[in-house]
Amino acid sequence: MQFRDLHRQYEAMKAEMDEAMLNVAASGAFIMGPQVAGLEQLLAEYVGVKHCISCANGTDALTLALMALHIGPGHAVFVPDFTFFASAETIAMVGATPIFVDVDEDTYNIDIADLNEKYYDIIENSSLIPKAVVAVDLFGQPANYKRLHEFCSGLALHLIEDGAQGFGGSIDGRRACSFGDISTTSFFPAKPLGCYGDGGAIFTDNDEWATLLRSLRVHGKGTDKYDNVRLGLNSRLDTLQAAVLQVKLRHFGDELKAVNHVAQKYTELLQGKVKTPVVPEGYTSSWAQYTIQVENRDEVQARLKAASIPSMVYYPRTMSQQTAFAELGQQPCPAASRLSQTVLSLPMHPYLTDNEIETIASHIINHN
Ligand SMILES: *Cc1c(COP(=O)(O)O)cnc(C)c1O
């Protein structure tokens, strides 16, 4: 059994995919071919925002968003303590200071009460200027954007949505990657919408930021190709990846239905026996991960392993516990620290069968 079965996915769309990839090979337009602009338009329509700017990966997408918002040295940016490293790494890479905020143990997303506390702590006890919140749609579920919007607009903070895991989720019918002033995603193969290598995208309704982002992703280019008006990155999406993503996007609606079926089935079988994920009313998840919480994690993981069932710990260390951030001297957040000890992610993908789900669940529940 595979944790995320990309072979079954390829088999399900092989003819279309082979044709799309061979077309790119034959065209020779490997950089900024027509499939890139075509994909950007499709993604902007899907998400429901004005601009989509594709780029090389989800980490660059965050870096570019921070650059477009002129975030740098002397600035504080709030980010969950429980997330993938890139959410916080990019803040430090542009020279700003990441401030780690605790998360909600039901949704795994940023805890607004702790965000409020950390904000006033920075105002009162540091010389840093608070500039932005990077909210993460962890494991596929959008963060609490209703409250985040209130909080950020009241304090003139930018809201960045790190939707690397959230693409395809929604709140009250509105799609993920539309909730930030600038939102970002990743097309890393194992993400909800993945390509066949690295890829990423940035979303915004703001015309000025969109223009700036298009410049920043190609060496800070101006209107004249050989007059660079600012420093930027080399961060384009390959034409081949754009072609792959156009095929995958056609199947994405069906895949979302399938992962939601898998999640529902897991929850039916596991509820009351282990802590299962909580999806609040009005929210939908794209199920980048199905993550349970168990006190005896090593034991459960060993039992699964003995039955050849892969499982993963996302994440065994919080941001404040990362060696790279030790010099910041921030205390680990209590809920994030507890989660790092108890979370376990189970196989999750659209091609998992009911039989497989039942087998996995039985090995979690049965304590022989
Ligand atoms: C994967 C991921 C990223 C980075 O995306 P890459 O494409 O791997 O650079 C950023 N944030 C989160 C939450 C992620 O899961």
Q: What is the pLDDT of residues 55-105, one digit of tens each?
A: 999 999 999 999 999 999 999 999 999 999 999 999 999 999 999 999 999
What is the distance between the alpha carbons of residues 172 and 123, in angstroms, rounded to a whole number?
34
Q: Answer yes or no: is pLDDT of 368 > 60.
A: no
Q: CA torsion angle for 63, 66, 71, 75 (degrees, to 10)?
A: -80
147: exposed, middle or buried (Cβ count in 10 Å: 0-12, 13-18, 19+): middle
Residue 366's pLDDT is 75
User: Ligand 1 atom closest to Cα of 288?
Assistant: 15
Give residue 315 CA to ligand 1 midpoint distance, Å. Answer: 13
No. of helices (H) and no. of strands (E), the chain: 12, 12
Average pLDDT of the residues in 127-141: 98
Average pLDDT of the residues in 243-265: 98
Cα–Cα distances in angstroms (integers) from residue 12 to residues 18, 221, 356, in the given order: 12, 40, 18
Residue 101's pLDDT is 98
Regarding the beta carbon of 59 and ligand 1, being less than 6 Å apart is answered: yes
pLDDT above 70: percentage of residues in the chain:
99
Residue 224's pLDDT is 85
224: exposed, middle or buried (Cβ count in 10 Å: 0-12, 13-18, 19+): exposed
Q: Answer yes or no: is pLDDT of 188 > 70.
A: yes
Average pLDDT of the residues in 24-36: 97
Residue 8's pLDDT is 96
Average pLDDT of the residues in 266-286: 97
Average pLDDT across the chain, whole number: 97
Q: Is 170 helix (H, G, I), strand (E, B) or coil?
A: strand
What is the amino acid identity at position 255? E
Q: Answer yes or no: is pLDDT of 155 > 70.
A: yes
Give residue 81 CA to ligand 1 midpoint distance, Å. Answer: 15
Please answer whether residues 329 and 360 qualify as being in contact, where contact means their C-beta atoms are separated by less than 8 angstroms. no
What is the amino acid identity at position 235? S
What is the distance between the alpha carbons of residues 242 and 236, in angstroms, rounded to a whole number?
10
Of 366, 368, 364, 367, which is closest to residue 305 (Cα–Cα)?
364
Within 13 A of 98's CA, how many CA atoms are on the CB side? 30
- The residue ranges of DSSP E strands in 250-308, in sequence order, are 283-284, 290-293
0.85 surpassed by pTM: yes
Give residue 164 CA to ligand 1 midpoint distance, Å. Answer: 5
Cα–Cα distances in angstroms (integers) from residue 125 to residues 47, 101, 117, 149, 212, in the given order: 39, 16, 12, 25, 34
What is the amino acid identity at position 329? G
Average pLDDT of the residues in 197-225: 96
Q: Answer yes or no: is pLDDT of 208 > 90.
A: yes
Give nearest CA residue, ligand 1 atom 2.
164
Regarding the beta carbon of 87 and ligand 1, being less than 6 Å apart is answered: yes
pLDDT band at 367 (very low <50, low <70, confident <90, very high): low
User: Ligand 1 atom closest to Cα of 90?
Assistant: 10
pLDDT band at 226 (very low <50, low <70, confident <90, very high): confident
Q: Answer yes or no: is pLDDT of 14 > 70.
A: yes
Give residue 200 CA to ligand 1 midpoint distance, Å. Answer: 9
